Amino acid sequence: MSQSRPAAVIVLAAGEGKRMKSRTPKVLHALCGRSMIGHALAAAQDLAPERLVVVTGHGRDQVGAEVARLALDATLVLQEQQQGTGHAVRMVTEAVGAIPGVVIVTYGDMPLLRSQTLEELASVHQAEGNAVTVLSARVPDPTGYGRIVRDEAGMLARIVEHADATGQEQAIDEINSGCYAFDGGLLADAIKRVANDNAQGQEYLTDVIAILRGDGHRIGSVIAADAGEIEGVNDRVQLAAARRVLNDRLLKEHMLNGVTIIDPASTWVDVTVTIGQDAEIRPNTQLEGATTIGQGAKIGPNCLLRDTTVAADAELINIVSRQASIGAGATLGPNVYLRPQAVIGDGAHIGCHVEVKKSTVGPGAKVPHLSYVGDATIGAGANIGAGTIFANYDGVRKSPTTVGEHVFVGSNTVLVAPVAIGDGGYTAAGSVIDSDVPAGDLGIARGRQHNSDGWVLRNREGTRSSRAARRARSDEGSPQSAAEGE
């Protein structure tokens, strides 16, 4: 369907959202990595309207800031008091004048509405030459919604709000979504004639339909194929339900693009995440923000990745990661914490209980067990022994550590930064290394061992230890055990 860009999309977002019971304005509550108003703006932006207008009221500063962040060119119109949807649109025409052309009106609290549905609405509107085209839906329980009243010919006659509806009208199961395509010129004129003599004492935008029809204009409607799309979010129960629907929609898209998702019920992805073909996402995994998963990578179970890049064929088990990057074929986990600017090289291994912060781990290098790596550069093929700590902080400032290629750091080494170990260098287990180890040297920094002969026999007489020691020491003297010892 080819069509021209709409002249404007108006997003209504002045309402308070009392039922959220929140200090945060309703439309700033997020699902799948984007605020509700963000979803509304994204759907609007897909239509490439010449003008994007957002009506704000409650929490105007916060909502305004979010709109400015996501749609720099959007016009904010303030509706000081929420006197109804018609009043909100009147504030727009009073602020910016009549907008000639197609004007779409939608809500900031309808995050499941797809841009394709808005496009279809605009397209039918233009094809039929309507003054207004209403997006409606058939629902099993129409309670609370405005009802679509049709004449004998089946043409849309008017919309009656639930509070104003007769018993007969309340039985109608076709409801008003709250989304419309208008002729902007006719809207600007009709909106001035909307009264507030109704059950709620509000200016209803819905009254514009009967006004335009009374003027003899064409009124049309599009019935939404999926009534779920037009469900608004008013409380946190509905927010959770909408999040589930949106997440399922995103997962389905990924699966159809060739991603294996073992357990969709426990997998959560943001709209901004990309996943390569043949990647496998395992149970209990959350992928957030600008996270990118390469082809064939295996993520999970139990991973939380935010703004993290994972290259092809890497495997991650039990990982928390923020702003990190992981090379091709690297293996991580279980239980790894990657903090900002952790860069893990191709084929590297980061093992169990390891934390990495602002460090580069070279290709094929290994940090397999129980380590903290901070402000470090680790060369290709280096092996960092169990329990090694990069002591990067002296209480005042952070300092860097450099570990060369194919270095072997012995278990339980403390590398006191700033310090460097040259290529191929070694450190002895248990060393506290606070000066550089040149390439090829072995750094040893620990007390020499001294055994106090028979100390237990003298000082722990009568204990099990002392009896065991006595037995062992007498056995040592016997010719049989001496032979075995050889």
CB of 105 to Ca ion, least distance (A): 14
Q: How many CB atoms lie within 10 A of CB 323?
A: 17
Binding window for ligand UD1 (CB under 6 A); candidates: 11-19, 62-70, 149-157, 317-325: 11-19
Take residue 157 and report the two structure tokens written for it: 């006659």
- The residues facing 107 across adjacent strands are 12
By the rule CB under 6 A, 111 interacts with ligand UD1: no
Take residue 129 and report the two structure tokens written for it: 């030459």
| Contact (Cβ atoms closer than 8 angstroms) between residue 431 and residue 446 | yes
By the rule CB under 5 A, 101 interacts with Ca ion: no
By the rule CB under 6 A, 87 interacts with ligand UD1: yes
By the rule CB under 6 A, 10 interacts with ligand UD1: no
By the rule CB under 6 A, 161 interacts with ligand UD1: yes
- Among residues 109 and 313, whose Cβ is nearest to Ca ion? 109
- Among residues 67 and 338, whose Cβ is nearest to ligand UD1? 67
What is the C-alpha radius of gyration for the chain, rounded to an integer number of angstroms? 34
Q: Which of 20, 49, 74, 107 binds ligand UD1 (CB under 6 A)?
A: 107
Provide CB contacts within 8 A for 256, sequence distance 6+. Answer: none
Number of Cα atoms under 13 Å in the Cβ half of residue 430 = 4
Binding window for ligand UD1 (CB under 6 A); candidates: 198-206, 240-248, 278-286, 338-346: 198-206
CB of 234 to Ca ion, least distance (A): 6
Q: Which of 74, 175, 320, 373 binds ligand UD1 (CB under 6 A)?
A: 175
- Among residues 60 and 306, whose Cβ is nearest to ligand UD1? 60
Binding window for ligand UD1 (CB under 6 A); candidates: 30-38, 80-88, 301-309, 331-339: 80-88
**C-alpha to C-alpha distance for 100 and 188, rounded to whole angstroms:** 9
**Set 162, 353, 369, 406: catalytic member:** 369
Characterise 38 by phi-psi region: left (phi > 0), alpha (psi -120 to 50), beta (else): alpha
369 is catalytic: yes
**C-alpha to C-alpha distance for 196 and 86, rounded to whole angstroms:** 9
CB of 375 to Ca ion, least distance (A): 51
Take residue 28 and report the two structure tokens written for it: 């700033």
Binding window for ligand UD1 (CB under 6 A); candidates: 201-209, 270-278, 339-347, 469-477: 201-209
The entry of ligand UD1, Ca ion, none that residue 84 binds, CB within 5 to 8 Å by partner kind:
ligand UD1
By the rule CB under 6 A, 88 interacts with ligand UD1: yes
By the rule CB under 5 A, 232 interacts with Ca ion: yes
- Among residues 67 and 421, whose Cβ is nearest to ligand UD1? 67
By the rule CB under 6 A, 146 interacts with ligand UD1: yes
**C-alpha to C-alpha distance for 57 and 376, rounded to whole angstroms:** 50
By the rule CB under 6 A, 79 interacts with ligand UD1: yes
- Among residues 159 and 342, whose Cβ is nearest to ligand UD1? 159
- Among residues 107 and 337, whose Cβ is nearest to Ca ion? 107
CB of 367 to ligand UD1, least distance (A): 51
30-31 and 34-35 beta bridge pairing:
antiparallel
Number of Cα atoms under 13 Å in the Cβ half of residue 221 = 24
Question: How far apart, in Å, are the Cα atoms of 451 and each of 432, 448, 461?
Answer: 22, 10, 18
Q: Which of 7, 8, 9, 12 binds ligand UD1 (CB under 6 A)?
A: 12
By the rule CB under 6 A, 205 interacts with ligand UD1: yes
| Contact (Cβ atoms closer than 8 angstroms) between residue 425 and residue 439 | yes
**CB-nearest residue to Ca ion:** 232
- Among residues 57 and 232, whose Cβ is nearest to Ca ion? 232
CB of 290 to ligand UD1, least distance (A): 29
Binding window for ligand UD1 (CB under 6 A); candidates: 123-131, 200-208, 249-257, 321-329: 200-208
- Among residues 85 and 359, whose Cβ is nearest to ligand UD1? 85
By the rule CB under 5 A, 59 interacts with Ca ion: no
Provide CB contacts within 8 A for 412, sequence distance 6+. Answer: 385, 386, 387, 388, 429, 430
Binding window for ligand UD1 (CB under 6 A); candidates: 97-105, 170-178, 267-275, 449-457: 170-178
By the rule CB under 6 A, 82 interacts with ligand UD1: yes
CB of 232 to Ca ion, least distance (A): 4
Nearest to 79 by CA among 104, 50, 108, 47: 108
227-266 positions binding ligand UD1, by CB under 6 A: 232
Annotated catalytic residues are 369
Binding site for ligand UD1 (CB under 6 A): 12-15, 55, 79, 82-85, 87-88, 107-109, 145-146, 159, 161, 175-178, 204-206, 232
Binding site for Ca ion (CB under 5 A): 232
